Chain A
Amino acid sequence: MPSLTIDGREVSVPKGTTVIQAAEKMGVFIPRYCYHPGLSVAGNCRICLVEVENLPKLQVACNLPVTEGMVVHTGSEQAEDGRRAVLEFLLANHPLDCPVCDQSGECDLQNFYMNFGLYDPRFREQKVKKQKAVQLGPHVMLDQERCILCSRCVRFTDEITKTGEIGIFQRGDRAKIGVYPGTELENPYSANVVDICPVGALTERAFRFKARVWYLSSAQTVCNGCSQGCNMDMHYVLDRPHLNEGARVVRVKPRYNPDVNQWWLCDEGRYGLEWIDKARLQEVRGPGDTANADTNSGKATWEQALGAISKSLAEWKAEDVGARIGVIASAKLTNEELFLIREIFRDALGAQVSAWVPEDPGTCDEFLVKADKNPNTRGATLLNLTSPDAPEAERIVDEALAGNIDLLWVFGYDLVEGFGEQKVRELGEKLKLFVYSGTNENPTQALAHWGLPSAAYVEKDGTFVNHHGRVQRIGRVFSPLGDSREDWRILLELGGLLGLQLDWRDPQEIFLGLADAETAFAGMSYGTIGDQGVEVACTKPTEGVTAPW
């Protein structure tokens, strides 16, 4: 373990550590363009210059292994002068079109210029013109003039996706990045090159001219697109509806988690979030004025809906025919909600409860994309709501059609897609009470007696368990849209109306109840889960994510 001194503080680091890594460990940030912790070292941008005592010239911190007794100055006048000179070269042919550049505000050329800029530029020559607005693929736009040739994107497609689409062509000040003529940057992780591009050369086509980044708010969440549960930051805008056609979610960025997704996010997850703002259920739909109507044609209030539903449930409970109640839950619900469903429906009312719904496996690979597109199948299994501990949804539907179930509550799952419209229409006619709660419009919702709008996962707090058994908090990004409510809130209220002793007020408290009841979650709280998640007890230790394919 060599020890070295960086900016006057001594630190010991493992052999082979580079100066930039050692500094990072101490909380000293050294500017970088080409260096990225997830990629090989290129050492070409030269912005990470530092002064090392007894070495005649400035050194690049990203490619300099530490040695015993090394004394490094990251902020000395000599080091800063070096960076200033590097930046002057990098900007020599940069178009400075910041006013129309999507990267503006989160651009490291801008950021580092604040610290090491010349401010009185000397470059008077004609700048080299290159191609702008080159569509590299379905998600990525290239501006060759803004590129500083750090080669992060080239190394990403070489080393991470191993698809090798991007290369550097030509030479000197005419050098440019691009894809091989006639090909596209089209791999399942293509948009990551935008995240790692330190400048505005690679931008997201979906984000193009949508909003200046300083108007965006950010909140931590995880992706619910599959059972991997990649950590991400959701960038949203609430107070400027003109920016994003009224949609709140503007974009997402991967959030580093070494045990789940490292620095990356798949395109499927990144661009699969439109449903949060589009075609949402926003009002409570009920039978309306006509009693016994079997469609939810009328607008109702939450009080009417939950009043009527709890009344029916209480009646059936009184008659002690709990088995005549069926609940089809969903592995898209949080642990807290599944736990409440279990407490209320299975344990208090004796209902048949399942979170085991028929679904075709989706696309998958050996990196991040998992075939199970539910974010919380593992959680539902730990709560014994999937086979073999619970009936399959199909059996509940069959029993309802056979007249053995009178009340059916479906959480989020589109029955029509799973069982066909005919069966669901029949359910609507046969059942005494047919409740659908979900986030978006779908055919099942239209055929249920009550359609309850529930909050999207980013509109509520809670936890998912990913396929490795990692409990992660989904956070709450913004409030539920329209009249929609969080499923946990609906369930707590229903429990109250049924006279059950549920003493929890919010997901955090429900989770503590869950942790008391289930050994897999024993001792956990939102505090211990933190922002990186924690493994459930009795799981194999997670192997870190390794190279894909």
Chain B
Amino acid sequence: MHEVTHETRNNLPPTLVAEFTELCTHYPERRAALIPALHRCQEELGGWLSPETLEAVAGFFELEPVEVFGVASFYPMFHLRPRGKHLVSVCHNISCDLRGAQDILDEACKASGCTPGGTSDDGRFTLVRVECQGACTSAPMLALDGVYHEGITPEDVHRILGGVQ
């Protein structure tokens, strides 16, 4: 069981605190900056949102941790468990599916050593099957750490994933 303490509520890195303070000025309500702030935390603090991070964000925004957790759990792009060093997102909505997304996914599993939604044993990859990343015109596609690889074949998958450390 994780205990919410005063300390965990106030330990955002100073750079992020400064960034979020500025971020809040863009919105009429302070809490409106919560989602961009969570994205930044995820980028800066280990690729996922740990309980400590959620509590620190709650502390900054003067919200209850339960509310921040509610927001973070609503969106699939927030990771609430540790993930691998690289994030592989394979589209499987209708355009990609019609053009062989399942084969892409199968190859991505083999190349990364993950099951969909899982993390490889060596911690290099986390593989997720997502609905749509907005690249239907060049289906099938996958995104590696946010970089789109479009119109790919199963063979390309090994090349793409093999290229990272």
Chain A interface (Cβ within 8 Å of chain B)? Answer: 164-171, 179-183
* Complex: A183 Cα to B1 Cα, angstroms: 8
Candidates A166, A169, A171, A182; contact of B2 at CB < 8 Å: A182
Task: Tell whether, in the assembled complex, residue B4 and residue A180 are in contact, meaning their CB atoms are under 8 Å apart.
Answer: yes
Task: Tell whether, in the assembled complex, residue A181 and residue B73 are in contact, meaning their CB atoms are under 8 Å apart.
Answer: no
Task: Tell whether, in the assembled complex, residue B1 and residue A182 are in contact, meaning their CB atoms are under 8 Å apart.
Answer: yes
* Interchain residue pairs with CB less than 8 A apart (23): A164-B67, A166-B66, A167-B64, A167-B67, A167-B69, A167-B70, A168-B70, A169-B70, A169-B74, A170-B73, A170-B74, A171-B73, A171-B75, A179-B66, A180-B4, A180-B64, A181-B1, A181-B2, A181-B51, A182-B1, A182-B2, A182-B4, A182-B51
Residue numbers in A under 8 Å from B51 (CB-CB): 181-182
* Complex: A333 Cα to B51 Cα, angstroms: 52
Cβ-based interface call for B65 (8 A): yes
Q: A180-B64, A180-B65, A181-B51 are in contact. Are A171 and B4 (CB under 8 A)?
A: no
* Complex: A346 Cα to B66 Cα, angstroms: 59
For the complex of A and B, the 5 pairs showing the least CB-CB separation, nearest first, are A164-B64, A167-B66, A180-B66, A167-B70, A182-B2
* CB closest residue in chain A, given B67: A167
Cβ-based interface call for B3 (8 A): yes
Residue numbers in A under 8 Å from B69 (CB-CB): 167, 169, 180-181
- B152 → A minimal CB distance (Å): 29
- B61 → A minimal CB distance (Å): 13
- B100 → A minimal CB distance (Å): 28
Mark out the residues of chain B between 60 and 90 whose CB falls within 8 Å of any chain A CB in the assembled complex. 64-67, 69-70, 73-75
Residue numbers in B under 8 Å from A166 (CB-CB): 66
* Complex: A166 Cα to B67 Cα, angstroms: 8
* CB closest residue in chain A, given B51: A181
* CB closest residue in chain A, given B54: A180
* Complex: A33 Cα to B69 Cα, angstroms: 25
Task: Tell whether, in the assembled complex, residue B74 and residue A164 are in contact, meaning their CB atoms are under 8 Å apart.
Answer: no
* CB closest residue in chain A, given B73: A169
Residue numbers in B under 8 Å from A165 (CB-CB): 64, 66
- A52 → B minimal CB distance (Å): 32
* Complex: A489 Cα to B75 Cα, angstroms: 67
* CB closest residue in chain B, given A169: B73
* Complex: A114 Cα to B11 Cα, angstroms: 53
Q: A180-B4, A181-B2 are in contact. Are A171 and B74 (CB under 8 A)?
A: yes
Residue numbers in A under 8 Å from B67 (CB-CB): 164, 167
* Complex: A165 Cα to B65 Cα, angstroms: 9
- A424 → B minimal CB distance (Å): 46
Mark out the residues of chain B between 1 and 24 whose CB falls within 8 Å of any chain A CB in the assembled complex. 1-4
* Complex: A183 Cα to B64 Cα, angstroms: 11
* Complex: A444 Cα to B64 Cα, angstroms: 49
Task: Tell whether, in the assembled complex, residue A164 and residue B66 are in contact, meaning their CB atoms are under 8 Å apart.
Answer: yes
Query: How many positions in chain B have a CB within 8 Å of any CB in the partner chain?
Result: 14
Task: Tell whether, in the assembled complex, residue A183 and residue B73 are in contact, meaning their CB atoms are under 8 Å apart.
Answer: no
* Complex: A326 Cα to B69 Cα, angstroms: 63
Chain B facing A: main interface SS: helix
Residue numbers in B under 8 Å from A170 (CB-CB): 73-74
Residue numbers in A under 8 Å from B66 (CB-CB): 164-167, 179-180, 183
* Complex: A76 Cα to B67 Cα, angstroms: 39
A171-B74, A180-B66 known; 14 new pairs, CB 8 Å cut-off, are A164-B67, A167-B64, A167-B70, A168-B70, A169-B74, A171-B73, A179-B66, A180-B64, A180-B69, A181-B1, A182-B2, A182-B4, A183-B65, A183-B66
Residue numbers in A under 8 Å from B1 (CB-CB): 181-182
* CB closest residue in chain B, given A178: B66
* Complex: A164 Cα to B66 Cα, angstroms: 7
* Complex: A181 Cα to B70 Cα, angstroms: 11
Residue numbers in B under 8 Å from A182 (CB-CB): 1-4, 51
* Complex: A181 Cα to B68 Cα, angstroms: 12
* CB closest residue in chain B, given A174: B73
* Complex: A168 Cα to B64 Cα, angstroms: 12
* Complex: A261 Cα to B19 Cα, angstroms: 45
- B85 → A minimal CB distance (Å): 25
* CB closest residue in chain B, given A163: B64
Residue numbers in A under 8 Å from B73 (CB-CB): 169-171
* Complex: A171 Cα to B65 Cα, angstroms: 18
* CB closest residue in chain A, given B1: A182
Residue numbers in A under 8 Å from B65 (CB-CB): 180, 183
* Complex: A169 Cα to B1 Cα, angstroms: 18
Task: Tell whether, in the assembled complex, residue B70 and residue A183 are in contact, meaning their CB atoms are under 8 Å apart.
Answer: no
Residue numbers in A under 8 Å from B75 (CB-CB): 171
* CB closest residue in chain A, given B75: A171
Residue numbers in B under 8 Å from A164 (CB-CB): 64, 66-67
Query: Which of B3, B51, B70, B75: most chain A Cβ within 10 A?
Result: B70
Residue numbers in A under 8 Å from B2 (CB-CB): 181-182
* CB closest residue in chain B, given A164: B64
* Complex: A404 Cα to B33 Cα, angstroms: 76
* Complex: A314 Cα to B65 Cα, angstroms: 70
Residue numbers in A under 8 Å from B70 (CB-CB): 167-169
Residue numbers in A under 8 Å from B64 (CB-CB): 164-165, 167, 180
* Complex: A22 Cα to B23 Cα, angstroms: 43
* Complex: A167 Cα to B64 Cα, angstroms: 9
- A378 → B minimal CB distance (Å): 38
Residue numbers in B under 8 Å from A168 (CB-CB): 70
* Complex: A257 Cα to B69 Cα, angstroms: 36
* Complex: A493 Cα to B47 Cα, angstroms: 80
Task: Tell whether, in the assembled complex, residue A183 and residue B74 are in contact, meaning their CB atoms are under 8 Å apart.
Answer: no
* Complex: A164 Cα to B64 Cα, angstroms: 6
- A24 → B minimal CB distance (Å): 31
* Complex: A33 Cα to B66 Cα, angstroms: 23
Query: Which of A165, A170, A179, A181: most chain B Cβ within 10 A?
Result: A181
* CB closest residue in chain A, given B74: A171
* Complex: A168 Cα to B74 Cα, angstroms: 9
Mark out the residues of chain B between 104 and 155 whose CB falls within 8 Å of any chain A CB in the assembled complex. none
- A153 → B minimal CB distance (Å): 12
* CB closest residue in chain A, given B72: A169
- A430 → B minimal CB distance (Å): 56
* Complex: A182 Cα to B66 Cα, angstroms: 11
Residue numbers in B under 8 Å from A179 (CB-CB): 66
